[in-house]
Homo-oligomer: A and B are copies of this chain.
Amino acid sequence: MPTLANLNVVTVQDIARETGLSPSSVSAVLSGQHVKRRISSVTVERVQSAARRLRYVPNVTARSLRAKASGTKHVVLSILTSYEAPVLLVTQALRAMERAVTRHADSAMDYTVNIEMYHAGQLAQLPGLIDGHRCNGAIITNTLDVDDQFLASAQFPFPVVLLGRRIPGYPGVSTQSEVMGQLAAEALVKAGRRRLAVLRTPVMGQAPRRRLAAFEAAAEKLTGSPPAVILCEMLQEKAGFDGMRRYLEGKPACDGLFAVTDSLAIGAYHAIKRSGRTIPRDIAVVGVGDNPASVYLDPPLTSFEVAEEALNQAAVQMLLTLVNGGNPESRTVEVPVSLMVRESTGHRAT
């Protein structure tokens, strides 16, 4: 049943037919074996030109299925993350995975690790996800609510570990988001601040939202009124700068700021200084500890030390256990955080 679409895909067979050669010869040429197999240069040329003409693109899947040394288990592990996510965290996770896998690997077990990206909110559209064509196991991170809903109702034919979020039914590791919000509020109040504000984006994932909710609750409890909300269009430094600048043009500014990511804090720093204010004298700032530059800002940014290492290790370990058919000790892990108090939350001079 050759459908219309079917005609489009060019295979070795097609080239064989076209050139009057056998598939095996064509294959030999196309996979660069012509020297080893002593194919005549006329044939080589014939095949190559036909391949070009027909716009042949090899099917990597078929290629690897047939050619891979049989008898070795080939395991594919993926990190699924959104294009819109902070990459640094992803790389760290990837590195942890790579390290774990190198330790695990042996002659009969060949691991491949890779990153697959989806557009935030469109995880469900990632082809080959629900049917397991993609990987033998995955760490999923940086999801939005829609994605979480999809996950909640999805059934994967491979183990999945969530990083930084909690969805019933899934194993996952996350940080103590609520504790972060709470500690941030306390730190600002302890530094003598009463007019608190948060710097955030309109749409956020689960973890930032949780820490923000905790911050708002704690702020209200400690100061008697909810923090002001300063919106930034995105998570980039520039957005932080723009958002903060707009806010500072208004009359009464906050004196304590919690930025939902360090990148926003970095932009905000600049806006605050440009407005003639001083950190921490006029505005104290707390970040989230997800940017290596934070420690080196002027003044150094008070932010959280998240045990990234522990976080990633736990997730990867869990995934490997699951992929190999084992049972992890615990299906959910919460990694502790601690606030590194630096100069950006110095006590206000009285």
Minimum CB–CB distance from A12 to chain B (whole Å) comes to 12
Given contacts A9-B71, A9-B108, contact A296 B270 (CB under 8 A): yes
Contacting pair A70 B6 (CB below 8 A):
yes
Contacting pair A76 B60 (CB below 8 A):
yes
A61's partner among B64, B91, B94, B241 (CB-CB below 8 A) is: B64
A202 CB within 8 Å of chain B:
no
Contacts of A296 in B (CB 8 A): 237, 241, 266-267, 269-270
- Interface segment out of the listed A131-139, A211-219, A246-254: A131-139
A91 to B91, CA, bound (A): 10
Minimum CB–CB distance from A102 to chain B (whole Å) comes to 9
A64 to B76, CA, bound (A): 13
Contacting pair B87 A83 (CB below 8 A):
no
The tally of residues in A whose CB lies under 8 Å from a CB in B reads 82
- Interface segment out of the listed A151-159, A225-233, A330-338: A151-159
Minimum CB–CB distance from A126 to chain B (whole Å) comes to 9
A186 CB within 8 Å of chain B:
no
Minimum CB–CB distance from A127 to chain B (whole Å) comes to 7
Contacts of A59 in B (CB 8 A): 65, 74
Contacting pair B65 A136 (CB below 8 A):
no
A113's partner among B30, B117, B269 (CB-CB below 8 A) is: B117
Contacts of A108 in B (CB 8 A): 5, 7-9
Contacting pair A61 B71 (CB below 8 A):
no
Contacting pair A63 B132 (CB below 8 A):
yes
- Interface segment out of the listed A50-58, A162-170, A172-180, A311-319: A50-58
A221 CB within 8 Å of chain B:
no
A348 to B128, CA, bound (A): 60
Residues of A within 8 A of B (CB): 3, 5-9, 30-32, 51-52, 55-65, 67-68, 70-76, 83, 87-88, 90-91, 94-95, 98, 107-108, 110, 112-117, 127-128, 130-136, 155-158, 236-238, 241, 263, 266-267, 269-270, 273, 291-293, 295-298, 300, 323-325
Which 4 pairs from chain A and chain B are nearest by CB? A64-B133, A270-B296, A5-B71, A6-B71
